[in-house]
Amino acid sequence: MIGVSLLQPIMFKMRWPIGKLKKYSKNPILTPSKKNRFESAAVYNPTAVVKNNKVYLFYRAEQHYYSDYISKICLAVGDGEKFKRKGLVISPEKRYEKRGCEDPRICEIDGKYYLTYVAFSGKKTSIALAESSDLINWKKHGLIMRNTKSGCLLPRKIDGKYVLYFGDTNIYLAESKNLKEWKVYEEPVLTPRADNFDSRLVEAGCSLITKKGIFLIYNSSDGDEYKVGYAMFSKNNPSKLISRTNKPVLFPGGHWEKYGKVNYVVFASGLVEKNGCYYLYYGGADKSIGLAIGKKIY
């Protein structure tokens, strides 16, 4: 039997867990606010979780553009479409996050909430971890992965281990028994593809564990635009790629997605299930936050 490389898997036609995404008619759902200086220039790259039928939306906020910005993580709570801002929840404190706490991803595991975020020192990016029991008060656990970014923690242990997809050019896999020491797989599990919408880079966005496997929503670039794709990995072997989309499922269309701090960007990193649908939250042009909704297929 001929072996198959992780980078060149046999692809199967996949029935994805989300039906065709439709952008919310009242996008963007969250924009910069002059009322709060810390989010007066940009709010973007959100993550989300549901508690007591309310959607908790954590997002990156900045008071300036470009070289003067410092990123902080804020919270808004709402019904999934309309949100009320609750203010700052995570701010830079350590030297390794002096320039920002950025791009959060959240999941609930065994009754606790874990939030990974990018810690930016001004020169280096690393992945940091914070923990909460109530989504309001957060305890930082420091860095868990150095000199990388875009960490997406699976919402359930696999074989008793925490699983993390990470990386901002290729996507890699790491496993841990305690969220402190991590075993990193040397080979990437998802890579860019020449002459496709994801030809330059791929980054982990958010994930679900479904009956068909580990569903990963990923962000990508072809050098001109950031777009969103889907990938499915084996539940028994999170490094085994089963299928991925050949076309983007979300791409810049509206003016607010095309023009902002970084032009022509949609960046998805928040996913919740609500009312028989999946709600996908994404940043537009690194300035505002949008919503796309798809029917739950399974």
Whether the Cβ atoms of residue 139 and residue 157 lie closer than 8 Å to each other: no
- The pLDDT assigned to 66 comes to 86
- The pLDDT assigned to 5 comes to 37
| Average confidence (pLDDT) over 95-121 | 97
Whether the Cβ atoms of residue 219 and residue 203 lie closer than 8 Å to each other: yes
Quote the CA–CA distance of 40 and 63 in Å, as a whole number: 5
- The pLDDT assigned to 12 comes to 61
* Per-residue confidence band for 67, with pLDDT thresholds at 50, 70 and 90: confident
* Per-residue confidence band for 13, with pLDDT thresholds at 50, 70 and 90: confident
| Average confidence (pLDDT) over 109-129 | 97
Whether the Cβ atoms of residue 278 and residue 268 lie closer than 8 Å to each other: no
- The pLDDT assigned to 3 comes to 31
Collapsing DSSP states into helix, strand and coil, what is residue 2?
A: coil
Quote the CA–CA distance of 210 and 132 in Å, as a whole number: 25
Quote the CA–CA distance of 251 and 62 in Å, as a whole number: 23
Quote the CA–CA distance of 60 and 62 in Å, as a whole number: 7
Which of 7-16, 218-227, 237-246 comes out lowest in average pLDDT? 7-16
pLDDT exceeds 60 at position 7: no
- Sequence-ordered list of residues with C-beta below 8 angstroms from that of 218, at least 6 positions apart, any chain: 171, 190, 198, 202, 203, 204, 205, 228, 229, 230, 231
- The pLDDT assigned to 6 comes to 45
| Average confidence (pLDDT) over 11-34 | 93
- The pLDDT assigned to 213 comes to 97
- The pLDDT assigned to 11 comes to 55
Task: Please name which of 295, 220, 297 lies closest in space to residue 21, comparing C-alpha atoms.
Answer: 295
* Per-residue confidence band for 8, with pLDDT thresholds at 50, 70 and 90: very low
109 CB burial (10 A radius; 0-12, 13-18, 19+)? middle
What is this structure's pTM? 0.95
Tokens of 146: 């150095």
pLDDT exceeds 90 at position 209: yes
264 CB burial (10 A radius; 0-12, 13-18, 19+)? middle
pLDDT exceeds 60 at position 53: yes
| Average confidence (pLDDT) over 195-216 | 97
Q: What is the pLDDT of residues 172-204, one digit of tens each?
A: 999 999 999 999 999 999 999 999 999 999 999
